Structure 1
Amino acid sequence: MSVPLWIWLVTIGVFVAIILADLFLVDHKPHAVTIGEVTRWVLFYIALAVAFGVGVWFFQGGQYAGEFFAGYITEYSLSVDNLFIFLIIMSSFKVPVVHQHRVLLVGIVIALIMRGLFIAVGAAAIEQFSWVFYLFAAFLVYTAISLVKQAIGHEEEEWKEGRALRWLRKAFPVTDDYHGAKTTVKIDGKRWLTPMLVVMVAIGLTDILFALDSIPAIFGLTQETYLVFAANAFALMGLRQLYFLLGGLLKKLVFLSYGLAVLLAFIGVKLALHALHENEVPFINGGEPLPVPEIGIAVSLIVIVGVLAVTTIASLIAVRIKPELAEQGGAITAPPLARNKEEAARIVEADEAEHAKSPTYER
């Protein structure tokens, strides 16, 4: 698949324009979001991804379109699991309701830039060293096993400030309180950072850890760098609205970890077969390719969609039969989602009152 430079530039330009439009339309007047507003934005981003995939099919053929859709669905699915950590980060920093949209948007932009670097490095490594596929396959299978162990042990997902954030606090003074949407503020002639900037950086940097399994996973579905980037961009851009829409549903997806583990293991096996088929490692079959079967993109799509559907349906049925299963998610607080503008105003008022009588965030 040959993608000229101007296509890359146009694609990136369109993504930037969409992000700016999103920022202006949603965040120029901070507010608590409503169900209708979030639903419309989620459908908008999904429609954009579908339109892009149709465009790929029209100009490049069904093979590449299938690879894009498989990659996009996989990235979006892995992102849903990551929302647990985003919920914990938001709760730890006690982000005001009216600013959660902005925090997520800037954090996701940081994540997209970092993922772009990861993708570039991964593509270069694959181009030069075919044995990288063996490493990707082994890592995905290992991650799948870790997910299952975590699910069986009912371990709660945790988030702790990493070295980067600790260094940020040490290098720059950080205020205890939020100052509207400002990321920095001058106090007595001295420039201070606000918790708004710290939480944005926290979400952006935390996504790097998520990319460690999602980037190898999508390279197992397509080696086209352009499609890998596009799938990641669409998944991340739609993640912000999904955060609000699925916040209350996340606890009910009790089998999500098992489903994602199956997907990662499946893609790991697919990568291993591809690596053997293209083998150049001297100590495996004398450096010659092995005549092993490869898993086509059509089969991959069926498996991905099927596993996610079974996981979701089974989770909802299990929680309906045994409601206490939903409590295994720990004390994760879903973001507030209003039914109408009047309820949104009441949510903001209650949130402001809560912030006025309690510390802004937990260090």
Structure 2
Amino acid sequence: MDVSLNVWLLTIVGLCALIAVDFFIGGRKPHEVSLKEAGVWTTVWIVLAVLFGFGLLFFADAETSGEFFAGFVTEKSLSVDNLFVFVLIMAKFAVPPIYQQRVLMVGVLIALVLRAVFIAAGAAAISTFSWVFFIFGAFLIWTAWKLIKEAREDHEEDEYEENRFLKMVERRVPSTDQYHGTKLFVVENGKRLMTPMLIVMLAIGSTDVLFALDSIPAIFGLTEDPYIVFTANAFALMGLRQLYFLIGGLLRKLVHLSYGLSVILGFIGVKLVLHALHEAGVHVPEISIPVSLGVICAVLVVTTVTSLAASRKAEREEQGRKGPGGGQGGKEDAGV
């Protein structure tokens, strides 16, 4: 898809306008986000993404529209994994509930800017070196295997570990342990101090860089068009704040999410390797966008269904062990 500079500028301006509307309507005043509010805004962002995808169908072609939808669904599913870490970050810095939506909004904007840089670098590398697809494919297959190993170890992280960038900022910039509303800096005893609000925003934004290492190669495996890569990432990320509040309580029930994501990443990795071989002149079958979209959606549906079923089974077993009285067995609790 040949995108002119004017279209790029109009797209960026449009996205900025949507973000501004989101901020002034739902995020300007600090407050606890209700499930109703989160559900409405999550629906709004998904509808906007769908309308954008159908707009591409009208103004471009079916292939471009299919690439956007495949990329959006992939990025959205991978972004759910980010929410696990976001929960840990909020707990680590003891962010008051009324400020969490502001933290997520700014953190997601930082992540979007950083991803734009990653996308530009990836597009430049792909246009210059076709063998980059081999590297992307191999990396995704390795990441998929790593996810499976971590899932089988059944190791659950319960604490967020600060990255090097965050530690460097905290060492070099004087800070205070107290929140002062949404202020990023305060002056105490004539000294300018950074508040935990800024620290946690940087934590959210910089942590997403690690997730981008997986998601950017993954979406380049579905499309080589930087415009589609950027817009799919933008729509997936911009609804992430509301999704955090909507499914925050359900995250622990998605016990098979890592398996599903590993299958998706492995599938796209194989697709990238096949594409790289095809570009090198080797006659191998290539996986089409409709097939890719079908596989991704099917994996997500199966993962969600099996996760919820496994969670319900675990809850029933736990209730059975406790007994009807909530103790460790009915007869023992009754003194029999």
TM-score range, shorter chain: over 0.9
Structure 1: gaps spanning 5 or more residues: 280-288, 327-363
**TM-score, normalisation: structure 1:** 0.86
- 1:94 aligns with 94
| Residue 171 (structure 2) pairs with residue 179 (structure 1) | no
**Separation in structure 1 between the aligned mates of residue 262 and residue 288 of structure 2, nearest angstrom:** 20
- 1:52 aligns with 52
Per-residue CA distance 1:156-193 (angstroms, 9 max, x = gap): 23531122111111211110100011000111221110
- 2:155 aligns with 155
| Residue 124 (structure 2) pairs with residue 128 (structure 1) | no
- 1:142 aligns with 142
Counterpart AA for 1:37: E
Q: Give the secondary-structure state (helix, strand or coil) at the position aligned to 2:249.
A: coil
Counterpart AA for 1:215: I
Structure 2: gaps spanning 5 or more residues: 319-336
Query: How big is the alpha-carbon RMSD for the aligned residues of Structure 1 and Structure 2?
Result: 1.2
Q: Indicate if the aligned counterparts of 2:34 and 2:245 stay in contact, CA closer than 8 A.
A: no
Specify whether residues 129 and 325 from structure 1 end up closer, same or farther in structure 2 by C-alpha distance, changes over 3 A only.
farther
Specify whether residues 23 and 192 from structure 1 end up closer, same or farther in structure 2 by C-alpha distance, changes over 3 A only.
same
Per-residue CA distance 1:2-53 (angstroms, 9 max, x = gap): 0010111111111111112211112222111111111000000000000000
**Separation in structure 2 between the aligned mates of residue 324 and residue 117 of structure 1, nearest angstrom:** 47
- 1:74 aligns with 74
- 2:312 aligns with 320
Counterpart AA for 1:15: L
**Separation in structure 1 between the aligned mates of residue 93 and residue 299 of structure 2, nearest angstrom:** 35
**Separation in structure 1 between the aligned mates of residue 209 and residue 66 of structure 2, nearest angstrom:** 26
Higher relative contact order (CA 8 A, sep 6+): 1
Q: Give the secondary-structure state (helix, strand or coil) at the position aligned to 1:177.
A: coil
- 1:117 aligns with 117
Q: Indicate if the aligned counterparts of 2:32 and 2:98 stay in contact, CA closer than 8 A.
A: yes
Specify whether residues 143 and 221 from structure 1 end up closer, same or farther in structure 2 by C-alpha distance, changes over 3 A only.
same
- 1:304 aligns with 296
- 1:290 aligns with 282
Q: Indicate if the aligned counterparts of 1:131 and 1:275 stay in contact, CA closer than 8 A.
A: yes
- 2:39 aligns with 39
Q: Give the secondary-structure state (helix, strand or coil) at the position aligned to 2:230.
A: helix
Counterpart AA for 1:303: V
Per-residue CA distance 1:280-304 (angstroms, 9 max, x = gap): xxxxxxxxx1010000001001100
Counterpart AA for 2:153: G
Per-residue CA distance 1:176-220 (angstroms, 9 max, x = gap): 100011000111221110000000001000000000000000000
- 1:217 aligns with 218
Q: How many residues align?
A: 317
Q: Indicate if the aligned counterparts of 1:183 and 1:193 stay in contact, CA closer than 8 A.
A: yes
Worse overlay, 28-37 or 98-107: 28-37
**Separation in structure 2 between the aligned mates of residue 95 and residue 316 of structure 1, nearest angstrom:** 29
**Separation in structure 1 between the aligned mates of residue 14 and residue 190 of structure 2, nearest angstrom:** 40
**Separation in structure 2 between the aligned mates of residue 325 and residue 244 of structure 1, nearest angstrom:** 28
Q: Indicate if the aligned counterparts of 1:254 and 1:325 stay in contact, CA closer than 8 A.
A: no
Q: Indicate if the aligned counterparts of 1:319 and 1:325 stay in contact, CA closer than 8 A.
A: no
- 2:239 aligns with 238
Report % sequence identity.
58
- 1:9 aligns with 9
Specify whether residues 324 and 125 from structure 1 end up closer, same or farther in structure 2 by C-alpha distance, changes over 3 A only.
farther
Q: Indicate if the aligned counterparts of 1:145 and 1:261 stay in contact, CA closer than 8 A.
A: yes
Shift in Å, 1:324: 7.8
**TM-score, normalisation: structure 2:** 0.93
Worse overlay, 205-214 or 168-177: 168-177
Counterpart AA for 1:244: F
- 1:208 aligns with 209
Runs (4+) off by over 6 Å? none
